[in-house]
Amino acid sequence: MIILLSVFAAFAVAWLLAYHRLPAVYWSAAYAILLELCSRHGWWPDALLKAGWALWLLVSLLAIPSPLRRALAGAPLLKLFRRILPAVSQTEREALEAGTVWWDGELFSGRPDWKKLLSYPAPRLTAEEQAFIDGPLRELCEMLSDWEITHEATDMPPQVWQFIKDRGFLGMIIPKEYGGLGFSALAHSQVVMQLTTRSGTAAVSVMVPNSLGPAELLLHYGTKQQKDHYLPRLAKGLEMPCFALTSPEAGSDAGGIPDFGIVCKAEWQGKPDVLGIRLTWEKRYITLGPIATLLGLAFRLYDPDHLLGQQDDLGITLALVPTDTPGVHIGRRHRAMTATFMNGPNWGKDVFVPMDYVIGGVAQAGEGWKMLMNCLAAGRSISLPANGVGISKLSALTTGAYGRVRQQFKLSIGRFEGVEEAMARIAGNVYVMDAARVMTAGAVDLGEKPSVVSAIVKYHLTERGRQVINDAMDVHGGKGICMGPNNYLASAYMQTPIAITVEGANILTRTMIIFGQGAIRGHPWVLKEIEATREPDPGKALHDFDRAIFGHIAFTLSNIARVLWMGMTGARLTPVPGAPELRRYYQQLTRLSSAFALTADMAMFLCGGTLKRRERLSARLGDLLSQLYLASAVLKRYEDDGRPQADLPLVRWGLLDCLNRIEEAFYSIFENLPWPFVSWVLRGLIFPLLMPYGREFAPPRDPLGHEVVGLMMTPGPARERLTRGVFVSADGNDPVRTLEDALAAVIAAEPVEAKLRKAQQDGRIARRYADQVAAEGLRHGIITEAEHELLNRAAELRRRVIMVDDFPQDFGKSELYQTTQPVTFEALARRKP
């Protein structure tokens, strides 16, 4: 009886620890009652009871807040933390404090509230936004020829530029009161995504003015005078903006920019002693820089004469400088891969500008890094993710069609298992990517500035996009590598590394930002502990730290019990909402969220301040958080779309892929932690049924991949949802339009081809070649005239699809003899400030 009661009590305690965070006083009282029962009934010997009461006293002292606990434990721990915490620079602090915590905080908690996620409204375009996409955006796409832009004119035609300005494409984020379109983040994302499927140059040219730049900064920090003057002009395209942050000596370390300004007084436009700044800078990689009329400039501001206050170094500052200002030099163009969007260097030496050129005026001098980080927290989650999804959706649409239209060995190449494997990755990745894009844009529209989430989608949507375009090129083979007007993939393939590099290089984003920033912002206790160590009031510091550190300890202990319980039960007892057919995925993701929270705590406890230098460990922890987020987006999309059963193969592929990547990240952490015993314990807690070896979450299996590819190659609602937003021209000569027409024709002809094959097998047709077989089938009445026409149309369109462009033998030869006057190192040295 005692054994059964003990087992029941252990089960109840484990269940309570796993699913309920009860106050410490409840646990203390329950433990005291248990000890009293054992004493009265003689269940435990006296020695064990004494030890139990001693343990109860110690645990109660540490678990229940009191002045005694603060004096005996809180104060020494606070002193220790202040000594061991690494110094945090001003730029690091501002980056950490930028933006908001959203779903990433739920994942860090180890107890994600799925009801909360599913209750967020499904992101939807307004009628006005949809009309813009169906009207001006489609009209713009019809005007674009990527081959002409990229390889002939090396720029968009003047009429295209004018159309972009006249229709408000440069002012999508500017409110209507200033003459802009006032679009949502989702609409902004949708426009960039669709443009990307037509022309990378057009997409970048539109997205940059609507991303981190003068308009965004003015909206949040500009003075009324600055807003009233510049925002209407930016919205109408009367000003072409660019933003200059990167310097030759400061790329990823943007906070260390050497460009500087000195506060001084000088003559300005005939007026003496005007308060201003004398600027010296050199920038490069500045998109739209060569054609900009308004230069957003980041620099470090110094005030040696204390004209603004007592500080010498005011910090990073942002200013808007008209490019016709004397001393501003706009350089020649960079050529990023094959892309022809305007990008180039600019520089200036001792250029005087008045103080009212500073964004926000004197009040915002020195606040530039905070301004950039806050704007980047939202902006980074829109443009580049949309770009990656656009390339990937185009790849999915065209590869699905090409896989069915193109035949080898009398079989569509999409039916071969090797090709099918690559195509399944394309479709599965696109579903995951688009789910994350839409959910994140929806968060921005809800008022969030999700800094960690924006880093997640920037990294993973561009990286998965790289895998998608690589797979698409593999499937297309020679069709993909021969350049020309009929190649719809090559430009995207060659330009993919650009998105990998900008707005935080992907290596940096993965190893330093996602977990490095997320561990502090998303964790329920870490930021509170850090803030307590910086609190100047000793009494408040001790009170806040005591609450935070013991809350953290309780959080960790709860997660240990929770992880072990859910590992032993497979999380099958975990209550979750959502579609019944996806119940096990919700449960497993809840379990893995708790495991991630525990692993993150162990890493922070063991590594302390050195964790930010252990970039590989930080990257793997970031991978865990990222895959949990992507899987959450897949679940959210399935609900928002109304649970379409046809999409289940895509949903399951995406979720299985995320689960497999999560497990791989866990085992990579286990295998590389410098503490073997800790690795062994973590593995035993998280995967207790697989000790000492084994894997629980396999990648998507072949039969599921086969289903996914079937959806990809078959026109229907599932394929339309997967590729929604890809521009397909109405021009019958457009290569993507031709490919879609060929897909329809080939599918229509497949039953006719089956008739002819059967007739051949039965001996009614003796011919071997396709055109002869069709003619003989028509002659013998096996197929009708209409069916014969279907075959001819399918053959004609298939032929047009598989053909590639060719050029005269001397094509491009003149370029070898052009005098390009390359910039020499000596010229660069002379240009430097």
Question: So which residues are the catalytic ones?
Answer: 503
First to last CA, the chain: 86
Q: Rounded to whole angstroms, how far apart are CA atoms 45 and 336?
A: 78
Q: Rounded to whole angstroms, how far apart are CA atoms 728 and 197?
A: 9
* Cα distances (angstroms) measured from residue 536 to each of 97, 265, 287, 679: 19, 38, 44, 38
Which single residue is written with the structure tokens 């994302």? 189
Query: DSSP secondary structure string, 6-38?
Result: HHHHHHHHHHHHHH----HHHHHHHHHHHHHHH
Burial 108-136 (b: 16+ CB within 10 A, else e): bbbbbebeebbebeebeeeeebeebeeeb
CB 230 within 8 A of CB 367: no
Q: Rounded to whole angstroms, how far apart are CA atoms 788 and 772?
A: 11
CA nearest to 209, candidates 142, 286, 285: 286
Q: How far is CA 590 from the centre of its chain?
A: 22
Q: Which residues contact 783 (CB under 8 A, 6 or more apart)?
A: 752, 755, 756, 774, 777, 791
Which single residue is written with the structure tokens 């029941």? 8
Q: How far is CA 602 from the centre of its chain?
A: 26
Strand partners, 247: 250
Q: Rounded to whole angstroms, how far apart are CA atoms 764 and 781?
A: 11
Q: Rounded to whole angstroms, how far apart are CA atoms 348 and 343?
A: 17
Count of CB atoms within 10 A of residue 733's CB? 10
- Tokens in use for 215? 């308009």
Which single residue is written with the structure tokens 């902006």? 379
Longest dimension (CA), the chain: 104
Q: Rounded to whole angstroms, how far apart are CA atoms 126 and 121?
A: 13
Strands 313-322 and 329-330: unpaired
- Tokens in use for 653? 């592929």
Query: DSSP secondary structure string, 140-161?
Result: HHHH--HHIIIIISSS--HHHH
Q: Rounded to whole angstroms, how far apart are CA atoms 239 and 165?
A: 10
Task: Label residue 562 exposed, middle or buried (CB < 10 Å: 0-12, 13-18, 19+).
Answer: buried
DSSP alpha helix (H) spans, 315-357 = none
CA nearest to 18, candidates 26, 7, 10: 10
The residue type at 178: Y
Q: Rounded to whole angstroms, how far apart are CA atoms 465 and 482?
A: 21
CB 797 within 8 A of CB 742: yes
Radius of gyration of the chain (CA): 31
CB 291 within 8 A of CB 205: no
Q: Rounded to whole angstroms, how far apart are CA atoms 832 and 141?
A: 41
CA dihedral sign of residues 409, 411, 417, 419: positive
Q: Rounded to whole angstroms, how far apart are CA atoms 696 and 660?
A: 8
The residue type at 436: A
Coil, strand or helix at 447: coil
Strand partners, 344: 286
